[in-house]
Each structure stands twice: as structure tokens, then as C-alpha cells.
């Protein structure tokens, strides 16, 4: 018998076993993750005859959208056991989980999957890009002396993160405790944090160094300081592959690396009224929203999030509207997927929703 349900604390081992089968992460990382990040009341699984062949997790976070703090969640660990794939389990879990998040008074859900297109059919659309600086083999050079933060010292980098994060729409608005937890997350699997100076750093980078690769999964700070810090960091990786993840609008360049801007981050809509209310937007015009996942999101709304009796200026799906609300796309760019009924109202709402810098720094 198949049943999609909210996870229980007693499911932790089954979740962890499935995670390792599907993602291959280390015992050390999984032990840390499932102690500190498993939040069963926000997570969903599919149970089949007493086993869990498919599961996904969510963790509550505030998300910064257009400078406003929005109640949301980050999704991760969406997976199905190889023997049970292509049965539609993922779609059933996603629909169920979005409804669960709405019940928890969350407006949006963000995540950074490996294959973004897999989630478009669930109404989760791209809302952020990332810049990747990569090299197949770093040159062997003299190693620079680096400054590392350990233990409680890692709090010193929080102000740098907070200043950096507030420039972007779609990013997790971490508090200091969430920041330290993320650093613990990296440390659990061998990651380290390097800074330009120990007290009040203006740039930091979190990285892994293996026998074959140097991977910088998170880096933030003022351009000049970050440029120098990353140049120094790469001297550790001589002869190895390299990958550095940065925001899409970065001015940092590394002469030994190729630079690519790639889509890396999607978002789903749980509560349109709550999102619009928190954004505090204004317009005389209204629009009609269509959502195949959350029934309550269907209807006509003004930009304050209230139901409107005015004739809508356009009709749009939840998946196509969300990138506009975040600031990743303009309303005009979404026109091919919009049924425009009143051009003046369409343009009025478009002007209230200009594009803004977007970035999602977290993987989970």
C-alpha cells in the first residue's frame, strides 16, 4: 500500500539510508546532518509496504525577497531509491509538501537541485543564477599563508555574510546561529573557512580540499578582498581540479579559471497572499493567478495580496509569476506565458516589479 505522509522522528534512519544510497555522502556528514537538520514536521515521504522508497526534506528559514523578510523553507534531499524511480513518486511528494509548508504559514520554498528542469512541472521555476569559476588543473605555485577560523572564531565572519546576503533576493537570511550551523555543516565533512583577516573579516571562503579537487562552495565579501583571498586559496590546489561558486554579478575573476553563469536555484509558491503582503507592493491593477498545486492560490489578487473584484489585467501561472516577484525575471520577459487582458494594468504591475540581483548561496 502506498501512502504519502509527513515524516516522523522515527523515520530518521530510513531517511539517512536513502540519502546515502542516492547521494553517496560520507558517514560523518550524514551523522551531523540528520542530528542537526532533520525536521520531520516539515518533511514528506512516500511509504510503500513499510519501507520509504522516496523522501524529501524541508527546513524552515526566512528568505530575503526584494529586501523583505519572507517566511519560507529550504528543500533538500529529494530522492527516490533507484529501484523505485519513474513511478511518479516525486510529483506526489512535492504537491503534498507544498501544502504542508502552507499549513506551517510559509510563503515560499527554495532549493538548488542538480537538474532544475526536473521541478518545472511542479511549478518550481528558476529564480537565481550562480557564477562558477572552474579549472581542469590549477597551476602549481608557491602556497600562500592563509588565515583560518576555527570553532567560536567562525562567528567573526557572520557580519561579512550578513552584509553580503542583504544585496540579494532569494537568499536565506541566516542569523548568527544559522551561520554557525552552516559552518558546522561544512566542517562535518572536512570543510574549512578561510578569511582575509581574523577580526572583522571583509571576505571569507568555505572550501574542501581533496586529493583531486579544490571546491569552494561558499564565498562572500568585498570584491577586492575576496579577489585576493581566492587567489591565495587556489595556491593550495596546485595540480587539482577547481570549482568556486560565486554570485552571478561578481566582479571576481581568476586568470587560471573559466567563468560561467549558470541557473542554480528554484523556488515554489506556497502562499501568494502571504508573500505579497510581506513584500508590501502597491498597484491599482489586479491579476489572476492559476496554481495546479495549491488550490487556495487560485484567484484574482492585487499586489497587496488581497482578493480583488476588479477585472484582472492578466492571467499567469504560479510558476511564471514567482520569478517576477523575486526579481529574477521581468513581467515583460514572461509575456509569452501570460494572457494579457489589459495592457495598461499589465504595464503598471510590471513597473512595480523591476528586476533585482538574485542569488541562493545555500545548497540545503
* Percentage of the chain lying above the pLDDT 90 cut: 92
Backbone angles phi, psi at 310, to 5 degrees: -75, 150
Residue 151, beta-bridge partner list: none
- Taking the C-alpha atoms of residue 248 and residue 131, their distance in angstroms, rounded to an integer, is 5
Domains in the chain and their CATH numbers?
A: 2-128 (3.40.630.30), 132-263 (3.40.630.30), 281-351 (3.30.1050.10)
The answer to whether the CB of 151 falls within 8 A of the CB of 254 is no
Instruction: Assess whether pLDDT exceeds 90 at residue 46.
Output: yes
Q: Which residue, 249, 293, 290, is CA-closest to 130?
A: 249
The answer to whether the CB of 119 falls within 8 A of the CB of 266 is yes
Instruction: Assess whether pLDDT exceeds 90 at residue 364.
Output: no
Q: Which residue, 38, 96, 105, is CA-closest to 70?
A: 105
3-state class (DSSP) for residue 71: strand
pLDDT tens digit sequence for 259-301:
999 999 999 999 999 999 999 998 999 999 999 999 999 999 9
Residue 345 Ramachandran class (φ > 0 left, ψ -120 to 50 alpha, else beta): alpha
Cell of 198: 581574523
Exposed/middle/buried for 300, CB within 10 Å: 0-12, 13-18, 19+? middle
Instruction: Assess whether pLDDT exceeds 90 at residue 308.
Output: yes
Residue 109 Ramachandran class (φ > 0 left, ψ -120 to 50 alpha, else beta): beta
Instruction: Assess whether pLDDT exceeds 90 at residue 120.
Output: no
The answer to whether the CB of 287 falls within 8 A of the CB of 313 is yes
DSSP string of 295-317, one letter each residue: GGG-EEEETTS-B--SPPSEEEE
Residue 327 Ramachandran class (φ > 0 left, ψ -120 to 50 alpha, else beta): left
Q: What is the DSSP letter of 145?
A: P
pLDDT tens digit sequence for 49-94:
999 999 999 999 999 999 999 999 999 999 999 999 999 999 899 9
- Taking the C-alpha atoms of residue 182 and residue 217, their distance in angstroms, rounded to an integer, is 11
What is the average pLDDT value for the chain, to the nearest integer?
Answer: 96
- H or E element in which residue 237 lies: none
- Taking the C-alpha atoms of residue 277 and residue 71, their distance in angstroms, rounded to an integer, is 11
3-state class (DSSP) for residue 174: coil
pLDDT tens digit sequence for 126-159:
999 999 999 999 999 999 999 999 999 999 999 9
Instruction: Assess whether pLDDT exceeds 90 at residue 318.
Output: yes
C-alpha distances out from residue 40 to 45, 57, 78, 254, 362, Å = 10, 8, 14, 42, 20
Residues in Cβ contact with 140 at an 8 Å cutoff, skipping those fewer than 6 apart? 238, 239
Amino acid at each position: 500500500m502506498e501512502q504519502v505522509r509527513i515524516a516522523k522522528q522515527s523515520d530518521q534512519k530510513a531517511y539517512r539510508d536513502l540519502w546515502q544510497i542516492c547521494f553517496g555522502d560520507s558517514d560523518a556528514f550524514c551523522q551531523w546532518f540528520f542530528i542537526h537538520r532533520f525536521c520531520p514536521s516539515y518533511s514528506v515521504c512516500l511509504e510503500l509496504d513499510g519501507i520509504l522508497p522516496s523522501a524529501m526534506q524541508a527546513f524552515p528559514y526566512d528568505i530575503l525577497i526584494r529586501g523583505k523578510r519572507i517566511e519560507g523553507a529550504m528543500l533538500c534531499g529529494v530522492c527516490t531509491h533507484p529501484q523505485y524511480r519513474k513511478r511518479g513518486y516525486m510529483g506526489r511528494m512535492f504537491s503534498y509538501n507544498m501544502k504542508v509548508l502552507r499549513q506551517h504559514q510559509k510563503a515560499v520554498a527554495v532549493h538548488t537541485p542538480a537538474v532544475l528542469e526536473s521541478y518545472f512541472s511542479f511549478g518550481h521555476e528558476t529564480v537565481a543564477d550562480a557564477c562558477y569559476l572552474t579549472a581542469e588543473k590549477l597551476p602549481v605555485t608557491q602556497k600562500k599563508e592563509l588565515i583560518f577560523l576555527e570553532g567560536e572564531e567562525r562567528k567573526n565572519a557572520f557580519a561579512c555574510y550578513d552584509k553580503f546576503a542583504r544585496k540579494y533576493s532569494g537568499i536565506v537570511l541566516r542569523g548568527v546561529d544559522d551561520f554557525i550551523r552552516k559552518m558546522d555543516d561544512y566542517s562535518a565533512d572536512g570543510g574549512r573557512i578561510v578569511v582575509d583577516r581574523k577580526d572583522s573579516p571583509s571576505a571569507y571562503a568555505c572550501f574542501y580540499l581533496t586529493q583531486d579537487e579544490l571546491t569552494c562552495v561558499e564565498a562572500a565579501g568585498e570584491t577586492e578582498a575576496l579577489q585576493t583571498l581566492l587567489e591565495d586559496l587556489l595556491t593550495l590546489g596546485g595540480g587539482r581540479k577547481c570549482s568556486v561558486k560565486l554570485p552571478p554579478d561578481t566582479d571576481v575573476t581568476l586568470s587560471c579559471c573559466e567563468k560561467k553563469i549558470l541557473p542554480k536555484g528554484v523556488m515554489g509558491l506556497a502562499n501568494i497572499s502571504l508573500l505579497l503582503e510581506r513584500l508590501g507592493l502597491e498597484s491599482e491593477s489586479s491579476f489572476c493567478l492559476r496554481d495546479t498545486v495549491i488550490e487556495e492560490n487560485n484567484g484574482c489578487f492585487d499586489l497587496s495580496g488581497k482578493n480583488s473584484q476588479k477585472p484582472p489585467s492578466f492571467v499567469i501561472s504560479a510558476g511564471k509569476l514567482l520569478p517576477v516577484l523575486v526579481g529574477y525575471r521581468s513581467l515583460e520577459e514572461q509575456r509569452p506565458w501570460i494572457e494579457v487582458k489589459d495592457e495598461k494594468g499589465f504595464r503598471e504591475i510590471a513597473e512595480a516589479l523591476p528586476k533585482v540581483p538574485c542569488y541562493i548561496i545555500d545548497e540545503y
